[in-house]
């Protein structure tokens, strides 16, 4: 009886060994990884190839700015060994999702090491400052004590209000405390924000690819050689495309280098190729459009003589169509800003997307 039990134990141990051996050493399962949006997912697939199984959270034509994670997304994140994210606050929903899914894998931030463009750098904050100004005008005459003076003095834009000294409005002042808290929160949110759309520069794309490669090689050293080989091939293609895009954009006439899109997604493209992009909507498709900004943009289009506006695959383009019809500008085509097209579309890979955008701009602006 005793010896038989030992025999049974060793047999089942052997059986277990036989079952685990093939999967761990010979036929390795692809590593489950998550990429937050389609452009990044394509890059990750190019580097990881057969060694990984990619789940992309925000798919083709999806808008990552306003994405709401699904239960399936949470499951994919929970099971992933690696998660690839853009960073620079592009995925505002990420932290909560990772927490909810108890993600315990490695996080790879694709924009690490990229010198990000600040929100102000391509100047689309005027509405924000105007709002603040109105807010302050409403409060005129209500500021009663030193605390308020200090608060205003700190804020360079609103220094003029520090001169108001009314000592006999204590009650009213208390009422306005809340308003100023809002103001501070607003200011804290907007200042120091960076443009997250760094993939719109092919030069920065190489940094994305490097971060992806290092992340995969670290998680799966056995296949590191493959990852670096895939990287080399891909970077060669990216650099070749950059030469083509540079040539196309350099050929755009001087007086046609200002274009209009729906939201401010092309700051890095503009920076790389010497174009100017204007947009009624800010860095996120979530930003509210101020009527004053639209009026200003329409005036600018008329004054500068902008000949074409471009709709975006992910955005609500009704406003842009209205701007076009009011100014007589033509719709130059569709640009892909934050997501790839589906596999039948003209931008089903990152490289196709960049080429499509450059060709669309080039065609519309060379006429």
| Residue 29 beta carbon to Zn ion: minimum distance, rounded to whole angstroms | 35
Q: How far is the CB of 172 from Zn ion (least distance, A)?
A: 41
- Which residues pair with residue 164 across a beta bridge? none
Q: What angle do CA 151, 156, 162 make, to 5 degrees?
A: 50
From the number of C-beta atoms within 10 Å of its C-beta (0-12, 13-18, 19+), residue 246 rates as middle
Give the Cα separation of 19 and 106 in Å (integer): 28
What is the per-residue burial (b if ≥16 Cβ within 10 Å, else e) of 292-310?
ebbeebbeebeeeebbbbb
Which residues make up the interface to Zn ion (CB under 5 A)? 265, 338
Instruction: Determine what percent of the chain falls in helix, strand and coil, rounding each to the nearest 5.
Output: 60, 10, 30
Nearer to Zn ion, 45 or 338 (CB): 338
3-state secondary structure of 55: strand
Q: Residue 211's Cα: distance from chain center in Å?
A: 16
Three-state DSSP class for residue 95: helix
Looking at the Cβ atoms of 42 and 338, the one nearer to Zn ion is 338
Strand partners, 82: 33, 106
Answer yes or no: are the C-beta atoms of 21 and 27 closer than 8 Å: no
Compare residues 271 and 338 and give the one whose CB is closer to Zn ion: 338
Using the minimum distance from each CB to Zn ion, give the nearer residue, 80 or 361.
361
Q: In the numeric block, which tokens belong to residue 72?
A: 């399936």
In the complex, what is the shortest distance from the CB of residue 277 to Zn ion, in angstroms, rounded to a whole number? 12
Contact call for residues 342 and 62 (beta carbons, < 8 A): no
User: C-beta of 293: minimal distance to Zn ion in Å?
Assistant: 17
Residue 208 and residue 45: Cα distance in Å, rounded? 13
Is the CB of 215 or the CB of 267 nearer to Zn ion?
A: 267
Q: Decide whether 45 or 195 has the Cβ nearer to Zn ion.
A: 195
Q: 270 CB contacts (<8 Å, ≥6 apart)?
A: 122, 276, 277
Smallest distance from Zn ion to CB 315, Å? 8
- Say if residues 224 and 214 touch (Cβ distance below 8 Å): no
**Which of 307/341 has CB closer to Zn ion?**
341
Least Å distance between CB 281 and Zn ion? 9
CA distance linking residue 161 with residue 139, whole number of Å: 10
Smallest gap, in angstroms, from Cβ of residue 261 to Zn ion? 10
DSSP letter for 349, please.
S
Cβ nearer to Zn ion, comparing 220 with 264: 264
Q: Least separation, in Å, of the C-beta of 262 and Zn ion?
A: 9
């Amino acid at each position: 009886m005793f010896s038989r039990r030992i025999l049974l134990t060793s047999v089942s141990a052997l059986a277990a060994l036989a079952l685990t051996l093939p999967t761990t050493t010979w036929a390795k399962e692809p590593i489950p990884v998550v990429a937050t949006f389609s452009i990044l997912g394509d890059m990750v697939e190019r580097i990881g190839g057969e060694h990984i199984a990619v789940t992309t959270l925000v798919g083709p034509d999806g808008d990552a700015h306003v994405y709401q994670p699904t239960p399936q997304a949470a499951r994919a994140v929970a099971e992933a060994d690696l998660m690839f994210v853009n960073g620079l606050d592009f995925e505002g929903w990420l932290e909560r999702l990772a927490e909810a899914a108890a993600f315990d894998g490695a996080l790879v931030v694709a924009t690490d090491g990229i010198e990000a463009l600040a929100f102000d750098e391509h100047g689309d904050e005027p509405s924000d400052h105007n709002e603040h100004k109105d807010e302050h005008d409403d409060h005129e005459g209500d500021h009663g004590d030193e605390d308020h003076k200090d608060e205003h003095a700190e804020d360079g834009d609103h220094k003029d209000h520090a001169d108001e000294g009314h000592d006999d409005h204590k009650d009213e002042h208390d009422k306005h405390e809340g308003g100023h808290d809002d103001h501070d929160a607003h200011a804290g949110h907007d200042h120091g924000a960076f443009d997250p759309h760094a993939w719109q520069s092919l030069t920065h794309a190489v940094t994305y690819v490097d971060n992806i490669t290092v992340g995969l090689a670290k998680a799966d050293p056995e296949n590191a050689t493959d990852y670096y080989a895939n990287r080399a091939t891909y970077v060669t293609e990216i650099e070749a495309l950059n030469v083509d895009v540079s040539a196309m954009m350099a050929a755009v006439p001087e007086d046609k280098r200002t274009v209009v899109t729906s939201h401010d997604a092309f700051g890095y493209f503009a920076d790389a190729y010497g174009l100017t992009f204007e947009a009624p909507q800010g860095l996120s498709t979530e930003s509210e459009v101020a009527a004053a900004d639209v009026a200003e943009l329409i005036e600018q289009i008329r004054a500068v003589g902008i000949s074409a506006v471009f709709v975006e695959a992910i955005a609500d383009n009704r406003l842009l169509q209205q701007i076009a019809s009011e100014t007589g500008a033509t719709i130059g085509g569709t640009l892909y800003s934050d997501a790839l097209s589906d596999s039948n579309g003209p931008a089903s890979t990152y490289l196709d997307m960049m080429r499509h955008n450059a060709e669309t701009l080039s065609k519309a602006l060379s006429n």
